[in-house]
Structure 1
């Protein structure tokens, strides 16, 4: 028997391991994928228990987390964890900026950029100065300023016997928000604000090494070209270096011009290196681009660029109108653009409280909106419109209440909700792992700073309820992305029966309609009758 059935204990042990693995993965939880996707959280008590376990699993220090979830359909609070403690919200502040601007300015509001002249046009010549005036357009791009120049050319203008007067009096001269840590930072997420801006107040610098055996200095291009930007190059070509090692520095600004120093080593042959850098003087940079486009279109200018104000009796030559405010806010929230939010904040201050538009006036408008929907002053502290300041504070309860009122205000709710990134699909949430097969159920705004992670928005659950939630994490005690993924997944799978709560839902809907009607009635005078900007 031993001869025909040898005992090889190693092979027997391997067979046992394979058998247990096969048996484990052949269970219904793993073999049937439908069971996984059809899993439902069918009661509030189960949801609370699952969320509590998820918080304990992903947070070593639970006090670092502030979280709240509320049903916006029924009105009851589903879960609360330190929801009345103020936390740093980071870019979740953009939720307040966007809702307040949609509330006060209307979704159809648009920005303009104008060119004026004092003297009339005679035989293709403008005798005197022309005035380039901005009204805070946050999405004024290179192709838009080219359109302005083309319109001037189509008007028959061939010569301007004066200067280009740059007018940025619609905003104040403060370029950065309160509490920003600039420290000569060359990151494009922290650029100065101005009433006359171009390309998000940044410039693209390209370094081209050239052909293989070409030992000449590399070609450096500025896009778009402007006389307000100068480049100093200390780049060396080295045959022994395989990859480019370049550093970009802002040396100093003389005569209100940005001078960038580029130094380092590049190989004899390589790819073009592109670097986008922030500028210091936005209005002069925009005027410099305007001047170069005039020259390209054979429009002669005898003067130079100056800073001044447009006289009241000036005549409008050409105008550029931006997209609607709702589409601009969509760009802002999808990609968390700090520059757009600061421009909108100052525009809000200028339109509601007069010139010049300042951050303080804009913040006053945001606070007035928060007070009007019943949020106490002890629930928040805001110092900018983008969330870059670490002095900002808000409670998850206040954030969910803002989301609640925005959802039930029919005048702009669809514009705001569509501006939020979709989980795992687009915007700042495009790289997140998909939650389930059902997509487009989570729309939320992200927020990041050093030691700060936040996510606030809406979840459309299985049973048709709309849930509002806010996750604010301050400190390194929680796994932010993992916790947010689990929380939104469980909220999405929430599928309680609403038959027992039918009466309360009807009462809740009537109550919310009454609230929205009183809000509209009380704030009707503040709601501008026209969506056109005030041209002071």
Structure 2
């Protein structure tokens, strides 16, 4: 174990700026000197939030090829005769988290280019690459309608997210109007009365999910001068994309009157058309820079699918990630709990010590991994572009780190170059952060003060 020096960085003193009750796990290491320069409760298990994506990115690089792409393909075992596909059309989905409705339309349009005007059989949706629930254990139930919690399913389209417009520019006593874009095969209904501002504080707008992608809005609203948008996560992705496929076939004037089937086993057939996602490095960069949950959890199960060569659950994804990082990167997980690849789950638990091992491995193998450019840069891009503690020199543009945020959680894990040109790796896990009744504008002030002092101290440390 490297020597722990008597650095000028006193974590307990700096913690005085954080709200009472805040839990902190912190560890920083000068990688050039192989020396721990600051630590505090670094063995405590904490919620990693989206810093979990660092592990997902690392494993994806170790298991999947740089040229890896998600594939969505049209297959068939039938023949084309007289402009008719004389049998079933198979659409094979593999979890592409960036797949869009426009890309689906272009894919289906290749049927028309092959002279197919009619499908005489059924439409088979092959989603066998993943099994089990399309959400991780420990995802908060009342966030499941939010788009950041959209299910990362095998059949994924437009991030499995849709938008509606609410028109509350109505007289008090009238109902708000719900406008649903026609392109979305969903139902949104409800009675939302317009009330005065005082009354609106007691009837929060909420949504109740029913089967068949039906959403019921409840509550009330104060008058609004302009319409505003609401976004919701698709609850049944397979049914949702099936309806979109039927609509697009009709738009292409391809006749289809068969059934839509969803078998559990993988399907085979001759390839009619294919669509490929962006290659792995581009997906990872988007995942880390923008903290994209769907990319993270699609990769999480895809890793398990390729590693074990079998349909993947979230539990199998966790097993694969731990096994791969233990065997290939020598990371010791001890009592770590891993439930997903995005960090959304409240079941995830990891120590700063364990996360630092991953950061060290990344630096040591950067020539082959090429991961550093994917981290957000303070004051420049991604989720660090506007972090108030790091928008001034010497920290701005000098910290590359993955953020992690849940309610009460403010984490960072990444790298900086110190005053002497040396590389420093650090892990900051802040859990249980609460400022009570302070409003949105002021609740981060203690965090900004703490981080600014801490990372300036790290920069100066020798």
- Aligned residue number for residue 289 of structure 2: 334
Distance 1:364 1:267, change over 3 A: closer
- Aligned residue number for residue 423 of structure 1: 378
1:483 pairs with 2:450: yes
- Aligned residue number for residue 442 of structure 1: 399
Alignment of 1:190-229 (within 5 A): 190-207=149-166, 218=177, 220-222=179-181, 224-226=183-185, 229=186
Q: Which SS does the other structure have where 1:280 is aligned?
A: coil
Q: Which SS does the other structure have where 1:87 is aligned?
A: coil
Q: CA deviation at 1:246?
A: 8.9
Rounded to whole Å, the distance in 2 between the matches of 1:268 and 1:314 is: 56
Rounded to whole Å, the distance in 2 between the matches of 1:186 and 1:150 is: 32
Structure 2 residue runs without a partner (length 5+): 436-445
Distance 1:121 1:400, change over 3 A: same
Aligned length: 443
TM-score of the two chains, using structure 1 as the length reference: 0.74
- Aligned residue number for residue 17 of structure 2: 58
1:158 pairs with 2:117: yes
1:231 pairs with 2:188: yes
Alignment of 1:244-283 (within 5 A): 247=205, 249-253=207-211, 257-262=212-217, 270-283=225-238
Larger radius of gyration: 1
Rounded to whole Å, the distance in 1 between the matches of 2:11 and 2:220 is: 54
1:170 pairs with 2:129: yes
Rounded to whole Å, the distance in 2 between the matches of 1:240 and 1:83 is: 47
1:165–1:309 Cα contact (<8 Å) kept: no
CA offsets 1:376-403 (integer angstroms, 9 cap, x no match) = 3325222222222222222212211210
Which stretch of the first structure deviates more once superposed, 88-97 or 477-486? 477-486
2:51–2:403 Cα contact (<8 Å) kept: yes
Distance 1:216 1:77, change over 3 A: closer
Rounded to whole Å, the distance in 1 between the matches of 2:21 and 2:169 is: 56
Distance 1:314 1:106, change over 3 A: closer
- Aligned residue number for residue 30 of structure 1: none
Q: CA deviation at 1:346?
A: 0.6
Q: Which SS does the other structure have where 1:179 is aligned?
A: coil
Q: CA RMSD in A?
A: 3.3
Which stretch of the first structure deviates more once superposed, 346-355 or 298-307? 298-307
Rounded to whole Å, the distance in 1 between the matches of 2:290 and 2:70 is: 20
Q: CA deviation at 1:53?
A: 7.0
CA offsets 1:14-48 (integer angstroms, 9 cap, x no match) = xxxxxxxxxxxxxxxxxxxxxxxxxxxxxx979x2
Q: CA deviation at 1:216?
A: 11
Rounded to whole Å, the distance in 2 between the matches of 1:237 and 1:83 is: 51
1:377 pairs with 2:339: no
Structure 1 residue runs without a partner (length 5+): 1-43, 497-536
Which stretch of the first structure deviates more once superposed, 59-68 or 320-329? 59-68
Rounded to whole Å, the distance in 2 between the matches of 1:376 and 1:129 is: 49
Rounded to whole Å, the distance in 2 between the matches of 1:489 and 1:365 is: 38
- Aligned residue number for residue 510 of structure 1: none
- Aligned residue number for residue 285 of structure 1: 240
2:178–2:189 Cα contact (<8 Å) kept: no
Alignment of 1:30-49 (within 5 A): 48-49=7-8
TM-score of the two chains, using structure 2 as the length reference: 0.85
Rounded to whole Å, the distance in 1 between the matches of 2:136 and 2:418 is: 38
Q: CA deviation at 1:340?
A: 2.0
Q: Which SS does the other structure have where 1:286 is aligned?
A: helix
Rounded to whole Å, the distance in 1 between the matches of 2:194 and 2:350 is: 52
Alignment of 1:65-464 (within 5 A): 65-183=24-142, 185-207=144-166, 218=177, 220-222=179-181, 224-226=183-185, 229-234=186-191, 247=205, 249-253=207-211, 257-262=212-217, 270-308=225-263, 313-372=268-327, 373-378=329-334, 380-414=336-370, 416-433=371-388, 434-436=391-393, 439-464=396-421
Q: Which SS does the other structure have where 1:364 is aligned?
A: helix
Distance 1:422 1:269, change over 3 A: closer
Rounded to whole Å, the distance in 1 between the matches of 2:432 and 2:222 is: 42
Rounded to whole Å, the distance in 2 between the matches of 1:454 and 1:268 is: 38
Which stretch of the first structure deviates more once superposed, 318-327 or 483-492? 483-492
